[in-house]
């Protein structure tokens, strides 16, 4: 009774209102207009009854604030709507499901209502609207086929909306199929609507009429969903296998693949004939409208729909994996789940009228905005900028809104007691403030009151000179406040103020590469507690200890089908799914949760595993040395049977070196360019100049003149100069000199040997005069020079190879293998050349003056009197024909 009484009062008020109305005729009487959905899953058809009342049928609405009502405004923009006024006292303060309402206008006539809106004055939110023409709409059939049927019911229906269809069928409690048939144009428009997260696809299509039992195989489906940027898509797919779309090595395509992939390319557009018409995500509900021909020209990958016949249709909901460089199409993942909840089939005759969708779809999680958690890191403030409004959560809104860390109007989570630092660079005229007012833009200007927690007119800046704002939420800060611009309403969004969180539980935190993952940790005596949080929606989050995915220990957190958070450990030794080997590390305090699609996982593990033998026993964390950490995120993970579909879709570009003791991190520089330059210099020195110089000294002596000597000296000196530069370059870029590695040991040895050469060349005893027996000193010197030089080359070449190995272990061996082979080939060619020259010189020695030769290593043609070290030394002519000494052929040591 108590409930009926106010209702009666309400009705009587309405009745009296109606009496006040002068029953003016209106030219709009009898016309029907679709309500445009803006928020809260609003649908319905408004019918103008007469000059002062209208009715709404099929009215669906999710509850807004208790103040929501029918509203008259001059336009659909924020300014006009704010200036509008209510048209009736009727409150839209509850859920409406397929209801019929009759509303009387209060003190207002139709010509004062260009826009009839559903408006929530408490939050300045528009839920939906109808644009009313001032003259009756001309509804004579359009010359071109209109996207809407001209069935008898819609003679007077204008403003047809893309969210409205003739038919609707419930597929599962969270998934609906809507459609309108256009038999005369051989087409059908299909609306897929599901209360799922934005990373889900919606699939619907016709099974092959030739198969006996309903089967996915050979069915023609449309896959619809949203890209990571939030743009809708709908694509024509064809199913040949119960698997994700895979391209085999021989070019065959199998699985759930786009029609266009089977055909290779689609120049004439014959197979790509599912056409997106419209799509949006509102209140956690995905809605996509697409168009397809009933009987399509593509007979291979499309099922012809006979609209008068019962046909089997199939549907599914599941996670989608965004395209990557290897597979440039959306990959629907296995839907899993119970039948008729996440997949199903039934018989459908599209020409039958069906409507069993009662009321609006009510998603459990209506929050679609990105979530940003402020962790009180003073060195990485939240960057506040402004940008175009693409998916602002509370329309209507200005065309420019606030972005935080490059995300549009995200939800911001802060902790009481943890300071938040903003770097405001949103441009002049956009000043940030934290307020209790959900609309912002200085509530005083709207005669409202607000509490300002931080910021004000001076909190504005541009990227060149950002202004900083520090805000400390305290015990008295309410759970929900707003960040807004002081000068314009509705540019910002909500701030959630919470008690405690990862920041309080962990002593340290750093952002990993790309600022997409935050790593938290606390060190204790022999264990470490680690938490990782993805700053982006994903199906799983993985962090790895290692400098790349290959050869890393990985920790993967995900929420399984039953909703339980899981963390598993792996050892990865390759780039495909087969190389991900589960390990059994002893993790304690394991937690994993997904909130708004943001995954957070935590675990505690010993610094040094208490086992031996297995791979994971080598996963030792030494807090005194930097720990290299990488990350990856992807659509779906599973405990068993990992496959290609579990591969990540985004990953870190480079490891971050986390200094566990200091609590800081530095990005690992990509040293490849540095190492490439160093490697090239060393190759020129050790692979070309120094051996070339030795060859010149050994095999060019028979050439007349002192050319060989000049060549020898120039080559060796330039080689040594390049070595010197190469070492300096590497040491400067690597900021240090680490004697620990094999490569550096070889390199240093070779360099010392090489640098010894010019020194002992300087100290060399005088060359014997012609015919003289060389002094013992000279002989020793020559041996020394000879041996040191060749040793230097051998060690230098070893250093080249060890450098390659080093590079391979650092950046994956596949890039380096080719270079290593090329280097081996080079060395081989060098060796063969030396052998050939050796052969020639032996032959020459035998053919010519067999006794020609010199005891000393340099024969008498040697002319080091043209001394490059001491050019003023006297030039001693030598007689090339005088020779009676034996030449001792010492085998080159490096061959």
Ligand X SMILES: *[C@@H]1O[C@H](CO)[C@@H](O)[C@H](O)[C@H]1NC(C)=O
- The correct pick among 356, 379, 526, 847 for binding ligand X (CB under 6 A) is 356
- The correct pick among 120, 370, 616, 668 for binding ligand X (CB under 6 A) is 616
Q: How far apart are CA 347 and CA 310, in angstroms?
A: 6
Distances (CA, A) of 239 to 172, 224, 338, 548, 678: 22, 15, 20, 35, 52
Residues 98-117 that bind ligand X (CB under 6 A): 98, 100
- Segment interacting with ligand X, rule: CB under 6 A, options 352-360, 397-405, 412-420, 693-701: 352-360
- The correct pick among 457, 463, 673, 771 for binding ligand X (CB under 6 A) is 457
Tell me if 231 contacts ligand X by CB under 6 A.
Answer: no
User: Residue 341: is it exposed, middle or buried by C-beta count within 10 angstroms (0-12/13-18/19+)?
Assistant: middle
* Residue appearing with tokens 């591969």: 647
- The correct pick among 84, 258, 548, 858 for binding ligand X (CB under 6 A) is 258
DSSP letters of 146-203? PSS---GGGTTEES--TT--SEEEEEETTEEEEEEEEGGGTEEEEEEEE---TTEEEE
Tell me if 741 contacts ligand X by CB under 6 A.
Answer: no
Number of residues in contact with ligand X under rule CB under 6 A? 45
Tell me if 588 contacts ligand X by CB under 6 A.
Answer: no
Pick from 348, 359, 297, 320: nearest CA to 190: 348
Tell me if 625 contacts ligand X by CB under 6 A.
Answer: no
Distances (CA, A) of 824 to 421, 805, 827, 832: 56, 13, 5, 12
Tell me if 266 contacts ligand X by CB under 6 A.
Answer: yes
Phi, psi of 129 (to 5 degrees): -160, 170
Residues 791-830, mask of contacts with ligand X (x by CB under 6 A):
----------------------------------------
- Segment interacting with ligand X, rule: CB under 6 A, options 452-460, 535-543, 675-683, 750-758: 452-460
267/871 with CB nearer ligand X: 267
- 454-478-497 Cα angle (round to 5): 80
Cis amide linkage into residue 396, ω under 30° from 0 = yes
79/766 with CB nearer ligand X: 79
Residues 145-184, mask of contacts with ligand X (x by CB under 6 A):
----------------------------------------
Query: Could you tell me the smallest distance in angstroms from the CB atom of residue 26 to ligand X?
Result: 9
Residues 470-489, mask of contacts with ligand X (x by CB under 6 A):
----------------x---
- The correct pick among 166, 228, 324, 355 for binding ligand X (CB under 6 A) is 355
270/725 with CB nearer ligand X: 270
Q: How far apart are CA 642 and CA 576, in angstroms?
A: 10
The single-letter DSSP state of residue 644 is G
- The correct pick among 65, 154, 218, 272 for binding ligand X (CB under 6 A) is 272
Query: Could you tell me the smallest distance in angstroms from the CB atom of residue 13 to ligand X?
Result: 10
Tell me if 586 contacts ligand X by CB under 6 A.
Answer: yes
Q: Which residue is nearest to ligand X (CB)?
A: 75
Q: For residues 411 and 367, is the Cβ–Cβ distance under 8 A?
A: yes
Residues 280-319, mask of contacts with ligand X (x by CB under 6 A):
--------------------------x-xxx---------
Residues 483-522, mask of contacts with ligand X (x by CB under 6 A):
---x------------------------------------
Q: How far apart are CA 693 and CA 703, in angstroms?
A: 15
Query: Could you tell me the smallest distance in angstroms from the CB atom of residue 109 to ligand X?
Result: 12
- The correct pick among 136, 137, 417, 456 for binding ligand X (CB under 6 A) is 456
Radius of gyration of the chain (CA): 39
- Segment interacting with ligand X, rule: CB under 6 A, options 149-157, 220-228, 403-411, 606-614: 606-614
CB crowding 420-446: b at 16 or more within 10 Å, else e: bbbbbbbeeebbbbbbebbbbbbbeee
Query: Could you tell me the smallest distance in angstroms from the CB atom of residue 457 to ligand X?
Result: 5
57/421 with CB nearer ligand X: 57
**Partners of 74 in beta bridges:** none
Residues 192-211 that bind ligand X (CB under 6 A): none
- The correct pick among 190, 357, 630, 690 for binding ligand X (CB under 6 A) is 357
Tell me if 224 contacts ligand X by CB under 6 A.
Answer: no
- The correct pick among 30, 66, 388, 500 for binding ligand X (CB under 6 A) is 66
Query: Could you tell me the smallest distance in angstroms from the CB atom of residue 682 to ligand X?
Result: 41
Tell me if 41 contacts ligand X by CB under 6 A.
Answer: no
Take residue 535 and report the two structure tokens written for it.
Answer: 């700053």
277/452 with CB nearer ligand X: 452
* Residue appearing with tokens 């060619």: 829
Residues 416-445 that bind ligand X (CB under 6 A): 442, 444-445
Residues 531-570, mask of contacts with ligand X (x by CB under 6 A):
----------------------------------------
Helices (H), 207-271: 259-262
Tell me if 669 contacts ligand X by CB under 6 A.
Answer: no
Residues 378-407 that bind ligand X (CB under 6 A): none
- Segment interacting with ligand X, rule: CB under 6 A, options 75-83, 210-218, 282-290, 714-722: 75-83
Q: For residues 504 and 529, is the Cβ–Cβ distance under 8 A?
A: no
Tell me if 347 contacts ligand X by CB under 6 A.
Answer: yes
Tell me if 6 contacts ligand X by CB under 6 A.
Answer: yes
Distances (CA, A) of 610 to 555, 615, 620: 18, 12, 10
Tell me if 42 contacts ligand X by CB under 6 A.
Answer: no
* Residue appearing with tokens 């786009």: 258
Pick from 188, 205, 165: nearest CA to 316: 205
Query: Could you tell me the smallest distance in angstroms from the CB atom of residue 205 to ligand X?
Result: 16
- The correct pick among 163, 199, 260, 405 for binding ligand X (CB under 6 A) is 260
Q: For residues 195 and 174, is the Cβ–Cβ distance under 8 A?
A: yes
Tell me if 121 contacts ligand X by CB under 6 A.
Answer: no
Tell me if 50 contacts ligand X by CB under 6 A.
Answer: no
* Residue appearing with tokens 């620990």: 740
Query: Could you tell me the smallest distance in angstroms from the CB atom of residue 450 to ligand X?
Result: 9
Tell me if 448 contacts ligand X by CB under 6 A.
Answer: no
Largest distance between two CA atoms of the chain: 139
Query: Could you tell me the smallest distance in angstroms from the CB atom of residue 102 to ligand X?
Result: 13
Tell me if 351 contacts ligand X by CB under 6 A.
Answer: no
Q: For residues 570 and 556, is the Cβ–Cβ distance under 8 A?
A: yes
Take residue 739 and report the two structure tokens written for it.
Answer: 């004697």
Take residue 253 and report the two structure tokens written for it.
Answer: 């395509």
Starting at the earlier edge strand, list the strands of the sheet with 598-606: 508-511, 517-523, 527-534, 598-606, 588-595
Q: How far apart are CA 387 and CA 165, in angstroms?
A: 34
CB crowding 263-288: b at 16 or more within 10 Å, else e: beebeeebbbbbbbebbbbbbbbbbb
Q: For residues 489 and 440, is the Cβ–Cβ distance under 8 A?
A: yes
Tell me if 644 contacts ligand X by CB under 6 A.
Answer: no
Q: For residues 402 and 430, is the Cβ–Cβ distance under 8 A?
A: yes
Q: CB atoms < 10 A from the CB of 843, how many? A: 10
232-239 and 220-226 as β-strands: parallel, antiparallel, unpaired? Answer: antiparallel
312/369 with CB nearer ligand X: 312
Which residues contribute to the site for ligand X (CB under 6 A)? 6, 25, 58, 66, 74-75, 77, 79-80, 91, 93-94, 98, 100, 235, 258, 260, 266, 272, 275, 306, 308-310, 347, 349, 355-358, 442, 444-445, 452, 456-457, 486, 584-586, 609-611, 616-617
């Amino acid at each position: 009774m108590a409930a009926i009484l106010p209702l009666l009062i309400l009705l009587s008020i309405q009745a009296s209102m109606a009496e006040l109305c002068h029953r003016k005729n209106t030219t709009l009487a009898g016309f029907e207009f679709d309500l445009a959905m803006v928020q809260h899953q609003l649908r319905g058809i408004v019918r103008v009854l007469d000059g002062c009342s209208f009715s709404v049928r099929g009215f669906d609405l999710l509850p807004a604030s208790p103040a929501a009502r029918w509203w008259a405004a001059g336009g659909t923009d924020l300014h006009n709507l704010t200036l509008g006024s209510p048209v009736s006292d009727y409150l839209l303060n509850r859920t409406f499901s397929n209801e019929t309402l009759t509303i009387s206008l209060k003190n207002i006539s139709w010509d004062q209502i260009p826009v009839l809106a559903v408006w929530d004055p408490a939050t300045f939110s528009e839920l939906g609207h109808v644009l009313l023409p001032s003259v009756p709409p001309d509804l004579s059939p359009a010359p071109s086929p209109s996207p809407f049927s001209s069935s008898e019911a819609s003679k007077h229906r204008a403003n047809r909306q893309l969210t409205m269809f003739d038919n609707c069928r419930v597929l599962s409690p969270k998934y609906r199929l809507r459609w309108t048939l256009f038999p005369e144009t051989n087409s059908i428009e299909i609306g897929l609507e599901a209360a799922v997260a934005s990373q889900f696809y919606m699939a619907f299509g016709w099974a092959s009429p030739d198969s006996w039992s309903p089967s996915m195989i050979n069915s023609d489906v449309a896959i619809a969903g949203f890209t990571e940027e939030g743009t809708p898509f709908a694509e024509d797919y064809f199913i040949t296998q119960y698997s994700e779309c895979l391209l085999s090595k021989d070019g065959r395509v199998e699985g759930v693949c786009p029609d266009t992939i089977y055909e290779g390319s689609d120049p004439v557009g014959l197979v790509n004939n599912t056409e997106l018409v419209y799509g949006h995500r509102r209140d956690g509900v995905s809605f996509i409208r697409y168009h397809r021909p009933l009987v399509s020209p593509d007979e291979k990958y499309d099922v012809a729909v006979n609209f008068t016949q019962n046909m089997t249709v199939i549907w599914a909901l599941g996670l989608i994996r965004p395209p990557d460089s290897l597979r440039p199409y959306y990959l629907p993942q296995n839907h899993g789940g119970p039948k008729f909840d996440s997949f199903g089939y039934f018989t459908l005759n599209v020409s039958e009228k069906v409507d069993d969708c009662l009321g609006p779809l009510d998603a459990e999680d209506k929050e679609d905005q990105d979530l940003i958690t402020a962790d009180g890191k003073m060195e990485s403030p939240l960057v506040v900028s402004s940008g175009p409004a693409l998916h602002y959560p509370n329309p209507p809104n200005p065309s420019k809104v606030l972005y935080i860390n490059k995300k549009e109007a995200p939800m911001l989570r802060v902790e009481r007691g943890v300071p938040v630092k903003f770097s405001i660079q949103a441009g002049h005229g956009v000043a940030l403030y934290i307020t209790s007012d959900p609309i912002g833009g200085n509530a005083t200007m709207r005669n409202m009151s607000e509490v300002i927690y931080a910021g004000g007119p001076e909190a504005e800046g541009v990227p060149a000179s950002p202004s900083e704002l520090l805000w400390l939420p305290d015990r008295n800060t309410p759970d929900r406040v707003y960040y807004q611009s002081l000068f314009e309403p509705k540019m910002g969004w909500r701030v959630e103020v919470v008690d405690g969180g990862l920041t309080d539980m962990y002593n340290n935190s750093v952002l990993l590469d790309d600022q997409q993952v935050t790593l938290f940790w606390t060190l204790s005596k022999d264990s470490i507690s680690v938490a990782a949080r993805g700053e982006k929606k994903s199906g799983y989050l993985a962090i790895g200890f290692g400098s790349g995915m290959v050869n890393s220990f990985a920790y993967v957190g995900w929420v399984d089908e039953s909703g339980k958070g899981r963390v598993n450990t792996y050892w990865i030794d390759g780039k495909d799914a087969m190389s991900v080997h589960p390990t059994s590390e002893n993790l304690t305090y394991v937690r994993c949760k997904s909130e708004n699609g943001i995954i957070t996982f935590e675990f505690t593990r010993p610094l040094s595993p208490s086992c031996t033998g297995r791979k994971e026993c080598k996963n030792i964390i030494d807090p005194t040395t930097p720990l290299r950490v990488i990350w990856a995120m992807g659509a779906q993970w599973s405990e068993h049977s990992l496959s290609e579909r579990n591969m990540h879709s985004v990953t870190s570009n480079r490891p971050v070196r986390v200094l566990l003791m200091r609590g800081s991190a530095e990005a690992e520089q990509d040293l490849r360019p540095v190492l490439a330059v160093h490697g090239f210099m060393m190759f020129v020195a050790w692979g070309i100049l120094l051996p070339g110089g030795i060859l010149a000294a050994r095999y060019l002596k028979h050439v007349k003149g002192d050319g060989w000597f000049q060549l020898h000296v120039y080559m060796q000196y330039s080689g040594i100069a390049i070595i010197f530069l190469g070492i300096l370059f590497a040491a400067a870029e690597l900021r240090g000199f680490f004697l620990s590695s094999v490569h550096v040991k070889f390199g240093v040895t070779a360099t010392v040997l090489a640098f010894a050469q010019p020194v002992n060349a300087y100290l060399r005893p005088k060359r014997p005069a012609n015919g003289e027996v060389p002094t013992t000193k000279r002989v020793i010197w020559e041996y020394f020079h000879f041996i040191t030089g060749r040793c230097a080359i051998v060690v230098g070449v070893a250093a080249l190879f060890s450098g390659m190995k080093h590079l391979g272990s650092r950046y994956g061996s596949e890039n380096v293998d080719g270079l290593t082979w090329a280097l081996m080939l080079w060395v081989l060619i060098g060796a063969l050349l030396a052998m050939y020259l050796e052969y020639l010189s032996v032959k020459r020695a035998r053919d010519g003056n067999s006794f020609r030769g010199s005891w000393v290593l340099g024969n008498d043609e040697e002319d080091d009197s043209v001394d490059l070290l001491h050019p003023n030394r006297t030039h001693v002519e030598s007689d090339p024909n005088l020779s009676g000494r034996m030449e001792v052929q010492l085998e080159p040591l490096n061959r």
